[in-house]
């Protein structure tokens, strides 16, 4: 935090994360306002469009990012997201929601990898960068915990339409924080062929052992996080007959486990390798998922969710270090874009498996199946990513 450029980038990240979480709550209310009982279907399509934007557009935007000044790109994408959010309160048709959601998530698909690629350039020392990864993971988890609470508090004062406008302001603040920074400039010749840039990240993930291992571990993390995100409400409300507040507490338990572990990762990586830490996290996830169907009480579920959150932090926090070591500074945007797209492609598989299949055959058997697939992913990562 002594680095003023990183300090402002981190502040911009935190503001945008909280705003994005608040928008998720407001989007659900808007869907209900427009579609009533069909709100679930509307939200399902909106989230599918989000994943399509993340998986399909992120590598394309990153391939052309080197043609644009990094600061201008980040500020422009923040301003575009703010503009979309200011429009959402005035939409009257479901299709308009779909168009705007696609646009705002296309902006996110460009912003997030470019932002992630900027941090190792601002903090070239690996120790500093490792601590920055820890901060980012903590910020993400705390944002996931606090955003619904902030949205609930704001709804006591304003209508849900106002949440979109207020979130638009958060992106304006993020743009303002970034606009005054002097960020490193790309050095690569703009004559690079676009197709090679678009596929650079995917090709590097295919050829480098550490990135092949990371890809397998991405699936393990997606299996665990999908189980927590999709099935917590059913487990708490149906199996344990608890209130909506208890659902929020259970989700917070996973976040707390992740926050505590992410904060400890920089010290841990002084003692063990990235490979050992991440494979251990994957084994924790596999073991935890296999126990979901055996949880006897709500308290035991909270403990298990803390463990799964810890496993997720062990797998995901060091990932940026692997990417940083896998290319020069001009390769970082497409590499981070590939990680962004491929990890979300894993969620695109595990979300419907955890949700739809869980509703048909039961959450316990599906969690066990995901746990087995998680174990296979860890074994595959161990084989692909040698010592």
CATH number of the domain residue 162 falls in = 1.20.1250.20
Give the per-residue pLDDT at 175: 92
pLDDT for the residue 23: 73
The answer to whether residue 79 sits within a structural domain is: yes
Q: What pLDDT score does 248 carry?
A: 75
- Core vs surface per residue 62-84: b (16+ CB within 10 A) or e: bbbbbebebbebbbbbbbbbbbb
Residues 41 and 108 in one domain: yes
Contact (CB, 8 A) for 49 and 98: yes
- CA atoms of 356 and 363, how far apart (whole Å): 10
The answer to whether residue 150 sits within a structural domain is: yes
Task: List the end-to-end C-alpha distance of the chain, in Å, as a whole number.
Answer: 33
Which residues in the chain land under pLDDT 70? 24-25, 28-29, 31-32, 37-44, 47, 63-66, 144-149, 152, 160, 184-194
| Residue 39: per-residue pLDDT | 63
pLDDT for position 381: 97
Q: How many domains does the chain have?
A: 2
At residue 41, the pLDDT reads: 64
379 lies in some domain = yes
User: Rounded to whole angstroms, how far apart are CA atoms 259 and 252?
Assistant: 10
Whether residue 167 sits in one domain with residue 217 = no
- Domain annotation covers residue 188: no
Residues 134 and 282 occupy one common structural domain = no
The answer to whether residue 333 sits within a structural domain is yes
Distance CA 305, CA 312 (A): 10
pLDDT of residue 290: 95
Task: Give the per-residue pLDDT at 126.
Answer: 86
Q: Do 16 and 140 fall within a single domain? A: yes
DSSP code, position 357: I
Crossing angle (nearest 10°) for helices 126-155 and 4-35: 30
Taking the C-alpha atoms of residue 375 and residue 126, their distance in angstroms, rounded to an integer, is: 30
Domain boundary among 126, 145, 180: 180
- Predicted confidence at residue 165, as pLDDT, reads 83
Q: What is the pLDDT of residue 24?
A: 66
Domain containing residue 269: 204-387
Q: Are residues 108 and 208 in the same domain?
A: no
Domain check: are 175 and 28 in the same one?
yes
Whether residue 349 lies inside any domain: the answer is: yes
Q: Are residues 47 and 116 in the same domain?
A: yes
List of residues 6+ apart from 225 with CB closer than 8 A: 312, 347, 350
């Amino acid at each position: 935090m002594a680095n003023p450029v990183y300090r402002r980038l981190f502040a911009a990240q935190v503001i945008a994360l909280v705003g994005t979480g608040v928008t998720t709550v407001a989007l659900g209310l808007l869907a209900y306002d427009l579609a009533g009982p069909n709100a679930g279907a509307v939200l399902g399509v909106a989230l599918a469009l989000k994943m399509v934007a993340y998986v399909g557009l992120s590598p394309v935007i990153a391939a052309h990012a080197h043609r644009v000044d990094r600061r201008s790109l980040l500020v422009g994408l923040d301003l575009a997201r703010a503009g979309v959010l200011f429009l959402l309160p005035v939409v009257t048709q479901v299709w308009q929601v779909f168009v705007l959601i696609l646009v705002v998530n296309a902006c996110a698909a460009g912003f997030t990898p470019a932002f992630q690629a900027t941090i190792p350039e601002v903090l070239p020392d690996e120790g500093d960068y490792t601590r920055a990864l820890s901060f980012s993971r903590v910020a993400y988890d705390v944002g996931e915990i606090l955003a619904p609470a902030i949205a609930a508090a704001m709804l006591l004062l304003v209508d849900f339409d106002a949440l979109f406008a207020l979130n638009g302001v958060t992106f304006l603040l993020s743009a303002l924080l970034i606009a005054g920074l002097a960020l490193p400039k790309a050095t690569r010749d703009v004559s690079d062929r676009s197709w090679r840039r678009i596929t650079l990240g995917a090709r590097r993930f295919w050829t480098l052992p550490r990135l092949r291992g990371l890809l397998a571990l991405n699936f393990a993390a997606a299996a665990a996080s999908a189980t927590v995100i999709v099935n917590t409400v059913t487990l708490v409300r149906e199996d344990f007959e608890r209130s909506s507040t208890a659902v929020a507490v259970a989700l917070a338990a996973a976040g707390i486990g992740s926050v505590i572990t992410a904060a400890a990762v920089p010290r841990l990586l002084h003692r063990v390798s990235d490979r050992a830490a991440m494979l251990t996290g994957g084994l924790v996830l596999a073991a935890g998922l296999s126990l979901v169907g055996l949880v006897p009480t709500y308290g035991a579920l909270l403990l298990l969710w803390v463990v799964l959150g810890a496993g997720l932090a062990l797998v995901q926090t060091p990932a940026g270090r692997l990417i940083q070591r896998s290319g020069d500074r001009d390769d970082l945007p497409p590499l981070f874009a590939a990680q962004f797209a491929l990890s979300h492609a894993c969620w695109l598989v595990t979300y419907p498996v955890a949700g739809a299949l869980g509703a048909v055959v039961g959450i316990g058997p599906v969690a066990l199946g995901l746990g087995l697939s998680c174990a296979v992913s860890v074994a595959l990562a161990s084989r692909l990513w040698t010592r």
